[in-house]
Chain A
Amino acid sequence: MREISLNILDIVENSVKAEAKLVEIDITAKGNFLTIRIIDDGRGMCPEFLAKVADPFTTTRTTRKVGVGIPFFKEAAEVTGGSFKITSELGKGTTTQAVFVIDSIDREPLGDLADTMMTLLSNGDDIDYLLIYKVEDREFIFDTRELKEQLGKISVAEPEVLQFVRELLKENINYTDGGAIL
């Protein structure tokens, strides 16, 4: 993957397939660490499956739910000197956390988070997303439940709505990180 935002898109697809109702995407840049947490309330994984989920060779063919998506994300974090972990409980959900060392030369850029969120929102009628973007002391929160309240009967997947959301996110993300390229 060329951007961490693409990894995020890929990992959240797992939450979608696990029939999550709410996916929280929590991005925090503080000091020299960029922490990405993806928390879903999907069906979760059993301990046996969880134990091998980060191994592409034991997982790619066993189920459609995972493949090289998780290994890519794990590698991207660990190569910077950061860390990676997944916790999961059947029936409760899954939390994926990757910590990146910001000044590592091997770190992918965060990339276009607004594009990723907009793409995710294209199935937003069945699932909600909560984005929390924190850079040092500034914070931006985007909750699709609030958006849906405003939209009423109109689908969040309407191209015009998606375009609006992308612009809204771009502006707010840019304000939150002061235009810094993370």
Chain B
Amino acid sequence: MKTIADIMAIRDKMQSQIIVRDNSDGEIRVVVGMATCGISAGARPVFNALVDEVSTRQLKNVKITRAGCLGMCKLEPIVEVFIPGQEKVTYVHVDAEKAKQIVANHIVNGNVVTEYLITNV
């Protein structure tokens, strides 16, 4: 069974990567709406899928955070992607599967996943 001390292996591995990050041009932020509306609509599995996908792909400059109500409760779960130097992109009615596609297509390959955009609603 894992204990907190087991984190040391991860820490040692990451220590060198942190230096790389400090020199990179700003990080990509992925924000998930996590107010009551978002949570009840399924934001937690979306958040989980994003963490898994970013971690598995070893993406070093991506931060996944959560926000409160983004103001459009009926469109939750909502995911916003902030890439430095680009306009914010808002995805709506996201689920775990869509979240993985957003990481692969948008964040890794730079292609916005147009079918999940808020502009389609």
B65 nearest CB across to chain A (Å): 6
Q: Which residues of A are found within 8 Å of B10, using beta-carbon distances?
A: 160-161, 164
Q: Mark B1-45, 1 if CB is under 8 A from A, else 0.
A: 111111110110011001000000000000000111001100011
B47: Cβ under 8 A from any A Cβ: yes
Summarize A's interface: helix, strand, loop or mixed: helix
Residues B64 and A159 in contact, CB atoms below 8 Å apart: yes
**Residues of chain A having any CB pair with chain B under 8 Å:** 1-2, 6, 9-10, 13, 17, 64, 67-69, 72, 112, 115-116, 118-119, 122-123, 142, 146-147, 150-154, 157-164, 166-168, 171-172, 175
Residues B35 and A13 in contact, CB atoms below 8 Å apart: yes
Residues A9 and B44 in contact, CB atoms below 8 Å apart: yes
Partner of B44, one of A6, A157, A171: A6
Give bound CA distance, A160 to B3, whole Å: 15
Residues A150 and B4 in contact, CB atoms below 8 Å apart: yes
Taking residues whose C-beta sits less than 8 angstroms from the other chain, chain B's interface range is: 20 to 34
Q: Which residues of A are found within 8 Å of B39, using beta-carbon distances?
A: 1, 6, 9-10
- Interchain residue pairs with CB less than 8 A apart (13): A6-B39, A6-B40, A13-B34, A13-B35, A72-B36, A116-B44, A122-B51, A152-B11, A154-B15, A158-B14, A161-B14, A166-B48, A168-B2
Q: Which residues of A are found within 8 Å of B2, using beta-carbon distances?
A: 164, 167-168, 171-172
**Residues of chain B having any CB pair with chain A under 8 Å:** 1-8, 10-11, 14-15, 18, 34-36, 39-40, 44-45, 47-48, 51-52, 54-55, 59, 62-66, 68-69
Partner of B68, one of A6, A64, A171: A64
Residues B48 and A118 in contact, CB atoms below 8 Å apart: yes
A-B contact count (CB 8 A): 102
Partner of B6, one of A13, A152, A164: A164
Look across to chain B and name the residue whose beta carbon is closest to the beta carbon of A60: B36
Residues A123 and B55 in contact, CB atoms below 8 Å apart: no
A156 nearest CB across to chain B (Å): 9
Give bound CA distance, A181 to B75, whole Å: 32
**Known contacts A69-B36, A116-B44, A164-B10, A172 near B1 by CB under 8 Å:** yes
Residues B51 and A9 in contact, CB atoms below 8 Å apart: no
Q: Which residues of A are found within 8 Å of B64, using beta-carbon distances?
A: 122, 157, 159
B63 nearest CB across to chain A (Å): 7
A106 nearest CB across to chain B (Å): 17
Look across to chain B and name the residue whose beta carbon is closest to the beta carbon of A66: B36
Residues A150 and B36 in contact, CB atoms below 8 Å apart: no
> Most B CB atoms within 10 A — which of A10, A64, A160?
A160
Give bound CA distance, A48 to B105, whole Å: 50
